[in-house]
Structure 1
């Protein structure tokens, strides 16, 4: 009988090569796959939910800084338009981030990873549509598997699978859409730092109106430099640092929103009636369609939830979104609309004008940090997508160095 003995040096080398970001390890502990009799560790779930606040929601959480000014670039002509735009914002938040992403798209993960390439990889497991020649033998066996009497849903899936496998144009089109979607997310990750930080820093002109736009830009430059400098510390350390700050931000904007609703107009809650969207488009016609480009900014950064899925798990993201992000951001938008019903001339700087005077400077400081976090959210998402692109051979080969400490179980 022969016994194979492993070389200790090889074991040590393997451990070094398998080093990962500790958030990936925590996510593995609470994997979404639960077998018979298995139970989720809710301590770990809530821990990941807290960290996700600092990593994922910075971008969508700071959108109230600029949504109304982008939607009404030429001013508010009719106060009732605020009801239509607010209703449009609320139902956009409900339909796209909450229903589409949080409760549907997140379940389309590729072994725990999210993002456009992960979805493409998942589809490629069950159909021979991949243009990249790296399909494994196991995947080929799965894609060729069929049963004689499938159910109606399986027959539909089989029909769609055959259409994709037999059409070269469909394969090219699907791959092109994947590349296009990835490029848009990467572009968002490039532009978000500048837009978010500039929007936050520009609030100082409310107290120091003598500052020029050029001076505001130069104030933003060192902040952006600091943002990219902290990336080397790893995702988990950044999450621990940013989660408390963005949590305070959400508490502040929710409180300010409730204050504005009570002080200015509680009747703004009528915007929950979606008919106001129809009235808005009927009154404004083409201008209403053009304003959609500003209103859709309320969900900018939403794709970060899916791209960063590999850092967390589905249940953690669902809890943090429904319990923290959505109520806070919705109250902020409602409060701003209530304020604008009284002061429509302040639409160009709604957020800072609607803040009660004693809270201006604390909110301004937190807004600066939150804008930095908004940039971090998209940077983390871009990194996750880039890592998946590397693994699929769709990006020039390079080494990925994990700088966060390992979890004890890895």
Structure 2
């Protein structure tokens, strides 16, 4: 494998390698691009680049992570034996051999989708160690210009993690697909729509997983006391769910690792109980390894067999969590723990339940607890409830991560993201989302009461995510991996085909609860669409009405504009150019700080930006104006600094930029203009460094926030007016203000309001 930059830059880089000596004109061009405020081109000089080296993880660390991830990401798929057989046989077992056909379906589904697809293929499609639907989308966005907001700068591609490791062969097919995606607006919207749908469905999982896991685990109490009703189980489950969501503020690191030994005990229990049932009741179920039993199962049951696939798919719940939570661990640790602990344990659990049901077919509605030996019943019940809590924890945490990723995409209203672990950057807590999920879980539990109907809803959410992941993966295979077309066809003809068959089955149960995740998806996608739509409109409005460099120089040089002491940080979402709010501010205030920095918090389509590459600075000439542009670049898994911490880092990096720029310009001027010019520039920059130091050392820093109100123009259609005036502004009123999200010191905050007519 050869590490390359994105194809658009290959020819340019080759030309640069062939012509290493730069002419005077070219050198001046490079320096002038560094001064640009509103051009979307140029490169950072090599002196500014810092490459992050990725070191191999030693085997001791990998084995430690292999144990730790058991308590974080396997709770969902590990507890699926609690509810799979009741979901497959809601009306009982019609024929004893049906058990063999279903067991064969379970074994081959887990092998094909869990092991081959996720463990050995999908995990490889990670974004610098992070996974999930958004990670796949971010890879595609970096490889092809399919983002709908025009804020991709060439400078960003110099960030270490922006590089994509790709092979060099089969370029023609990849280039054709890339060109189609970049030239087709419909394709760009479709990719964004698909990403929104995938994230919405995973959020639906975050609602349904706690419900079905906790109800299934608590339902075992009925075996000890038959007088307990479904209503009683429901209320016990509600109490546990509320308690579970109150734990989220402590973070996955504390909650998950506390229960890691519990999950290990759970897998040991289901492994040996499965082995015991297999030996005691019916060892002949091993015949299910013959896939012909699947064929005879469908021949015997026809439509009912196809409908039962909606229950079979429950054995795969949590497979997507392996990919979504990849960033907390690493690829090899997940592969090891899955192959050595998880897969053997759950396979043997299903084999043992099948052997038990061959002798007790009437117990299909509660196969798990009925098959547990009586001396182990109470310990197993306790472990099952704890395992269900951990299973819920993993999907809830994944929901928080997805919201964080959606923020980076500009597809979700900005909410407060709390990083709960200093060790793991991807572990976050979102208070607003936690409360919404808790309310939704309680409502679903009260409405459905039992796992059968929740299972119908759960199946649709699970399979939709499978199919969307496969669709993105095929694009990655074609454009980025560039693997042989025969292997892509094989993947589509096997794994994709199986997933679409499952999807057809779960959709059959749409009216029996299957509508629930789709209803969740409609609500979430509506929020995402409204926010993204207006966000893009606002960005384009600012881009079209931005303040030019000449206008900025005119304002700063105007003797009527007073330059007051201190540093002014003017926040704007615009990456190229200056927001029109700035002129509105000048018209009303008529003063500028001696040091003015236009700050933009920018999200890149990558998981992490190395700290040394976080800040990108530009400046405006002449240096005496002391006006800078700062773009603070974050990946969707990065911890965004806030308040005084951000202020301290920004000021230090600004001084470093000025000193480094002084050195580079001095060296360049010596080669181009001569020693006299170099000394003049050096003296000018030295004075600027002293001025900035003096102003910063006064600790007189003012934050200026542009707060734009948006309204639809009078000529807009009714639909556009509803989206902007009602939906978007209604959402904004329910959210935290931007300065609250960034934890800006309120005593040093100045807000500038302006109305945009879109």
> Match for residue 291 of structure 2?
274
- Superposed displacement of residue 138, structure 1: 4.6
Contact in 2 for aligned 1:84/1:279 (Cα 8 Å): yes
User: CA, structure 1 residues 254+406, in 2 after alignment: closer, same or farther (shift >3 Å)?
Assistant: closer
Q: Distance in 1 between matches of 2:317 and 2:153?
A: 36
Of 104, 107, 110, 2:127 maps to 110
Q: Is 1:173 matched up with 2:173?
A: no
Q: Which digits, 9 at most, give the CA deviation of each residue in 1:80-121, with x for residues without a partner?
A: 111111111111111111111111111112222211111101
> Match for residue 227 of structure 1?
244
Of 272, 277, 280, 1:260 maps to 277
> Match for residue 196 of structure 1?
213
Q: Distance in 1 between matches of 2:392 and 2:234?
A: 16
User: CA, structure 1 residues 49+134, in 2 after alignment: closer, same or farther (shift >3 Å)?
Assistant: farther
Q: Distance in 1 between matches of 2:312 and 2:348?
A: 16
> Match for residue 398 of structure 1?
415
Q: Distance in 2 between matches of 1:406 and 1:295?
A: 38
Contact in 2 for aligned 1:261/1:334 (Cα 8 Å): yes
Q: Distance in 1 between matches of 2:175 and 2:194?
A: 22
User: CA, structure 1 residues 73+217, in 2 after alignment: closer, same or farther (shift >3 Å)?
Assistant: same
> Match for residue 232 of structure 2?
215
Q: Distance in 1 between matches of 2:196 and 2:421?
A: 29
> Match for residue 136 of structure 1?
153
Q: Distance in 1 between matches of 2:254 and 2:158?
A: 42
Q: Distance in 2 between matches of 1:327 and 1:230?
A: 31
Counterpart mapping for 1:288-299 below 5 A: 288-299=305-316
Q: Is 1:350 matched up with 2:374?
A: no
Counterpart mapping for 1:4-403 below 5 A: 39-138=56-155, 153-403=170-420
Contact in 2 for aligned 1:301/1:377 (Cα 8 Å): no
Instruction: Please give the secondary structure, in 2, of the residue aligned with 1:340.
Output: helix
Higher helix share: 1
Contact in 1 for aligned 2:123/2:131 (Cα 8 Å): yes
User: CA, structure 1 residues 329+406, in 2 after alignment: closer, same or farther (shift >3 Å)?
Assistant: closer
Which ranges of structure 2 fall in alignment gaps of 5 or more residues? 1-51, 425-610, 612-758
Instruction: Please give the secondary structure, in 2, of the residue aligned with 1:335.
Output: helix
- Superposed displacement of residue 274, structure 1: 1.5
Q: Which digits, 9 at most, give the CA deviation of each residue in 1:152-206, with x for residues without a partner?
A: 5221111111121122222222211111111111001111111110111011001
Q: Distance in 2 between matches of 1:406 and 1:348?
A: 43
Contact in 1 for aligned 2:277/2:371 (Cα 8 Å): yes
Greater shift in the superposed pair: 341-350 or 98-107: 98-107
TM-score (normalised: structure 1): 0.86
- Superposed displacement of residue 131, structure 1: 2.1
- Superposed displacement of residue 133, structure 1: 3.5
Q: Distance in 1 between matches of 2:155 and 2:97?
A: 59
Contact in 1 for aligned 2:253/2:420 (Cα 8 Å): no
Larger Rg: 2
Contact in 2 for aligned 1:76/1:344 (Cα 8 Å): yes
Q: Distance in 2 between matches of 1:329 and 1:221?
A: 27
Q: Distance in 1 between matches of 2:193 and 2:150?
A: 16
Contact in 2 for aligned 1:59/1:301 (Cα 8 Å): yes
> Match for residue 14 of structure 1?
none
User: CA, structure 1 residues 96+401, in 2 after alignment: closer, same or farther (shift >3 Å)?
Assistant: same
Contact in 2 for aligned 1:125/1:139 (Cα 8 Å): no
Contact in 2 for aligned 1:59/1:374 (Cα 8 Å): yes
Contact in 1 for aligned 2:256/2:393 (Cα 8 Å): no
Greater shift in the superposed pair: 234-243 or 252-261: 234-243
TM-score (normalised: structure 2): 0.47
Which structure is richer in relative contact order (CA contacts within 8 A, separation 6 or more)?
1
Instruction: Please give the secondary structure, in 2, of the residue aligned with 1:208.
Output: coil
Contact in 1 for aligned 2:72/2:257 (Cα 8 Å): no
Contact in 2 for aligned 1:307/1:381 (Cα 8 Å): yes
Q: Distance in 2 between matches of 1:160 and 1:141?
A: 24
Contact in 2 for aligned 1:53/1:243 (Cα 8 Å): yes
> Match for residue 26 of structure 1?
none
Q: Which digits, 9 at most, give the CA deviation of each residue in 1:110-140, with x for residues without a partner?
A: 2222111111011011111122444232567
> Match for residue 510 of structure 2?
none
Contact in 2 for aligned 1:114/1:308 (Cα 8 Å): yes
Instruction: Please give the secondary structure, in 2, of the residue aligned with 1:394.
Output: coil
Which ranges of structure 1 fall in alignment gaps of 5 or more residues? 1-30
Contact in 2 for aligned 1:126/1:139 (Cα 8 Å): no
Greater shift in the superposed pair: 156-165 or 249-258: 156-165
Q: Distance in 2 between matches of 1:123 and 1:87?
A: 37
Instruction: Please give the secondary structure, in 2, of the residue aligned with 1:113.
Output: coil
- Cα RMSD of the aligned pairs, angstroms, is 2.1
Higher strand share: 2
> Match for residue 694 of structure 2?
none
- Which portions of structure 1, spanning 4 or more consecutive aligned residues, are displaced by more than 6 angstroms? 139-142
User: CA, structure 1 residues 117+405, in 2 after alignment: closer, same or farther (shift >3 Å)?
Assistant: closer
Q: Which digits, 9 at most, give the CA deviation of each residue in 1:345-365, with x for residues without a partner?
A: 110000000011101110011
Contact in 2 for aligned 1:203/1:364 (Cα 8 Å): yes
User: CA, structure 1 residues 308+151, in 2 after alignment: closer, same or farther (shift >3 Å)?
Assistant: closer
- Superposed displacement of residue 151, structure 1: 6.3
